[in-house]
């Protein structure tokens, strides 16, 4: 006999194309975001996790006057040093660009991080827009003596840097990451932190939490969240369609075999703690955090 304990906690549910906030959390705000991503072999797991993370990030900014761009880099000994995708209004195009690269090469520890900051600075930033670089790399810089000067250039241009620090970053890498984040007035965050998306956005849209509380009914509730032993997916609009859950590396971990039910209860025994992504066929995407 199955016993279902329903905890009426509805958290972290958003629409991938439209979010029905009563007032957009970033309404009347122009925001340009350039993602700079290390594509050397040590970043294989982070690159695999990018699609779900970046789509969720942009969905949280629905309603903002948002443009996104990307810059991917490798060692000079590889087929390219960097490739970039210009700032534009279609976030899905940026995510597609960033996720088409495989992690290869590297192995010499230090990378051209400061050069990549200079390349990001040359992006076609809009006058009056809030300018943000989100930097993801586990490497130290080749030329740490240039960092202070480059941070100054970013400040002059009103560009802040949010640094996402992956597992495996050594002491020199951490020192550079913190210098860049603090020096530009950005934030330094752990890539493994399941709430880094909200922390970055809060720096630019401080009213986001209030806006979420005022949100009308959404089509999918995920509770409890964070979860430990089990989780329930419940429709707020009749019945659930096809539902899938991905882990943070893009692997499908769960797919319901009985659509058109009002809720699904899932036991989490054997699931690895971390971030998971819940998708329903109507386009709803939710973030599920599993703890032990």
* Residue pair 234/218 in contact by the 8 Å Cβ criterion: no
- Which of 192, 200, 201 is closest to 19 using CA atoms? 201
Could you say which of 206, 239, 262 is where a domain stops?
Answer: 206
149 backbone dihedrals φ, ψ, rounded to 5°: -65, -40
Instruction: Give me the CATH number covering residue 272.
Output: 2.60.40.3080
Top-confidence residue, 35 or 101 = 35
Number of domains present in the structure of the chain: 2
Domain that holds residue 100: 30-206
Do 189 and 286 lie in a common domain?
Answer: no
Give Cβ neighbours of residue 130 (< 8 Å, ≥ 6 apart).
29, 30, 31, 32, 204
Instruction: Give me the CATH number covering residue 132.
Output: 3.40.50.410
Could you say which of 185, 206, 227 is where a domain stops?
Answer: 206
Distance CA 187, CA 189 (A): 6
Classify residue 195 by burial, with Cβ atoms within 10 Å: 0-12, 13-18, 19+.
Answer: middle
Do 196 and 280 lie in a common domain?
Answer: no
- Residue pointed to by tokens 């761009």: 69
The whole-model pTM stands at 0.69
- Which of 5, 19, 32, 13 is closest to 279 using CA atoms? 13
With H, G, I as helix, E, B as strand and everything else as coil, classify residue 199: helix
Do 109 and 235 lie in a common domain?
Answer: no
Do 161 and 249 lie in a common domain?
Answer: no
216 to each of 136, 142, 207, 213, 219, how far by Cα in Å?
A: 34, 50, 16, 9, 10
Tell whether 237 is covered by a domain.
Answer: yes
pLDDT tens per residue, range 62-110: 677 889 999 999 875 555 578 889 999 877 788 778 777 776 665 557 8
Tell whether 9 is covered by a domain.
Answer: no
Tell whether 4 is covered by a domain.
Answer: no
- Which of 75, 77, 79 is closest to 142 using CA atoms? 75
Do 244 and 123 lie in a common domain?
Answer: no
Specify which of 74-88, 206-220, 238-252 reaches the highest per-range mean pLDDT: 238-252
Residue 205's pLDDT band (cuts 50, 70, 90): low
Mean pLDDT estimate for the chain: 78
Could you say which of 156, 180, 206 is where a domain stops?
Answer: 206
Tell whether 184 is covered by a domain.
Answer: yes
Q: Which two tokens mark 181? A: 């984040």
């Amino acid at each position: 006999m199955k016993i279902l304990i329903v905890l009426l906690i509805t958290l972290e549910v958003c629409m991938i194309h439209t979010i029905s906030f009563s007032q957009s959390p970033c309404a009347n705000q122009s925001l340009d975001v350039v993602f700079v991503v290390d594509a050397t072999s040590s970043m294989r797991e982070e690159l695999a996790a990018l699609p779900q993370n970046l789509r969720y990030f942009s969905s949280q900014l629905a309603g903002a006057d948002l443009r996104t761009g990307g810059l991917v880099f490798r060692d000079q000994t590889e087929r390219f040093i960097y490739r970039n995708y210009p700032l534009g209004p279609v976030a899905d195009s940026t995510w597609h660009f960033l996720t088409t690269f495989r992690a290869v090469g590297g192995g010499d520890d230090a990378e051209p991080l400061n050069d990549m900051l200079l390349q990001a600075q040359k992006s076609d930033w809009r006058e009056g827009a809030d300018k943000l670089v989100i930097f993801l790399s586990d490497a130290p810089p080749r030329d740490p003596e240039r960092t202070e000067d480059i941070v100054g250039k970013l400040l002059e241009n009103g560009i802040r840097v949010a640094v996402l620090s992956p597992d495996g970053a050594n002491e020199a890498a951490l020192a550079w990451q913190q210098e860049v984040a603090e020096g530009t007035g950005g934030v330094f965050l752990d890539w493994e932190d399941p709430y880094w998306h909200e922390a970055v956005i809060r720096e630019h849209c401080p009213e986001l939490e209030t806006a979420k509380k005022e949100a009308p009914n959404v089509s999918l509730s995920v509770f409890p969240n964070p979860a430990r032993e089990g989780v329930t997916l419940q429709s707020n609009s009749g019945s659930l369609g096809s539902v899938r859950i991905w882990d943070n590396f893009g692997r499908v971990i769960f797919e319901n075999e009985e659509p058109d039910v009002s809720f699904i209860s899932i036991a989490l025994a054997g699931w690895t703690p971390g971030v998971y992504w819940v998708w329903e066929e109507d386009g709803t995407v939710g973030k599920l955090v599993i703890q032990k």
